[in-house]
Amino acid sequence: MSVDRKPVVVIIGAGFGGLAAARGLRGAPVEVIVVDRANHHTFQPLLYQVATAGLSAPQIASPIRHILRAQKNARVLLGDAIAIDAAGRRVHLADGEIAFDYLVVATGLTHSYFGKSAWAQHAPGLKTLDDALEIRGRILTAFERAERETDVAKRAAWLTFVVIGGGPTGVELAGTLAEIARHTLTDEFRSIDPAQARVLLLEGGSRVLSTYPETLSTRAARQLERLGVEVRVGAHVSGVDDAGVSIDAGESIRARTVLWAAGVQATALAQSLPGPRDKLGRMLVTPTLQLPEADSIFVIGDLASVTQDDKPVPGVAYAAKQMGAYVAHAIAQRVRGGEFKTSIPPFRYRDRGSLATIGRKAAVAVFPGGIRLSGLIAWWTWLLVHIFFLIGFRNRITTMVDWMLAYVTHQRHARLILADTATRDVGNRRS
């Protein structure tokens, strides 16, 4: 490397991890290039609010180049990374390529349908804003279709909603769906009573929120049931089509709206990375978050499989942030100290707790040291933490306003069904 040119650090993905890595390099003598296939950073923990028409998409997203505008050593490019040439130190984009000296892969995970890719069109997942808007359209359209449907069985199918997967996302979706049906839409229909809608949460394991302490799982299940959600554990889904879902025990549930929150896996990009990976495709990294076979490549966030004290580091937002800050520091150290100086301590995850909301007034939370909260106080904690972490002053203000209003009125302020924007032919509007 010539003395004149600064080392180039390419960061793929501007989620929590990628952004933290970029910002962590702001004083370092490097050129940072952030590449994302979207122009915006998304606050994923609130995607379920967009999916359930409670918040608008822009409220939980910020343009990446706006976030990094003041960081002079950083540039932002809109691009789709297709493959990584580790030996040649290049990232191949759909329409170009970028050479790197160091690479940080922070692309997260995508949905896994356990090999049944045909299920994807019938049961959308919730990872991106586009996912959220797709789901929102399906939920709102289901009630509209039910209102016009005269056949009793077909109407019931439109008013049956199934959420597959009892982790935090599934719990949040199911709880909020029940609130919409029982409270938000109450006076607005003439043929149907939205409160009669069925909301089912199907979990294959023995309890919802299986990564939480068992007492909190029990409380969450109870709060869901109080909201009117039918919680089914030990329910393994064997089939999903446009009529509904089948469960292993031979049961069929007729439901026109099915949402997927049950499985994740690495994206296709990760397949081109060298080295070992786990069964979800996540990369096994060294204690310093590098690929064992390519030490110029770091993997952080959900895509990294990191074990600490015999437990996996969870795929949560602040784990990604901590990893991003760590690799920024590691890279800066190397660059300042010369090539491959190796005296950087291993990454150490600091658990700050977990929060999952269930409905308008309920949540569960667990913090280090055994502190557990549930119910309303957990919900307020959850609210404040999420508002704090939202990027952008205006987003915080308007999100707080919307929450106050929704808390009091049950109203949701983003109840729009938008057509497939690729075609304005109304005949092609999704049903």
Residues near a second copy (CB under 8 A) are 37-40, 56-59, 61, 63, 65-66, 69-70, 75-80, 94-96, 128-131, 133-134, 137, 140-141, 144-145, 147-148, 187-191, 394-395, 397-398, 401-402, 405, 411, 413-424, 426-427, 429-430
Q: What angle do CA 283, 275, 289 make, to 5 degrees?
A: 50
Per the residue annotation, which of 172, 203, 225, 230 is the catalytic one? 172
Beta carbons of 343 and 306 less than 8 angstroms apart: no
Residue 252 tokens read as 């069929």
Residue 73 tokens read as 């050593």
- Which residue's CB is nearer to a second copy, number 71 or number 210? 71
Residue 351 tokens read as 């658990």
- The alpha carbons of the chain give a radius of gyration, in whole angstroms, of 22
SS3 359: coil
CA distance 357 to 374: 9
Residue 339 among the catalytic residues: no
CA distance 415 to 411: 10
- Which residue's CB is nearer to a second copy, number 69 or number 311? 69
- Which residue's CB is nearer to a second copy, number 41 or number 89? 41
- Which residue's CB is nearer to a second copy, number 166 or number 263? 263
Residue 141 tokens read as 């359209």
Least distance (Å) between residue 192 CB and a second copy: 11
Least distance (Å) between residue 136 CB and a second copy: 10
Least distance (Å) between residue 367 CB and a second copy: 33
Residues facing residue 161 across a β-bridge: 199, 257
Determine which helix (DSSP H) or strand (DSSP E) holds 203, and give its type and residue range: strand 198-203
Residues facing residue 184 across a β-bridge: none
CA distance 145 to 129: 24
Beta carbons of 146 and 153 less than 8 angstroms apart: no
CA distance 356 to 45: 9
SS3 194: helix
- Which residue's CB is nearer to a second copy, number 196 or number 206? 196
- Which residue's CB is nearer to a second copy, number 342 or number 421? 421
Eight-state DSSP code of residue 360: S
Exposure letters 124-154 (e unless 16+ CB within 10 A, then b): bbbbbbebbbbbbbbbbbbbebbbebeeeee
Residue 414 tokens read as 């983003």
Residue 266 tokens read as 């690495």
- Which residue's CB is nearer to a second copy, number 179 or number 402? 402
CA distance 22 to 335: 15
Q: Which residues are identified as catalytic?
A: 172
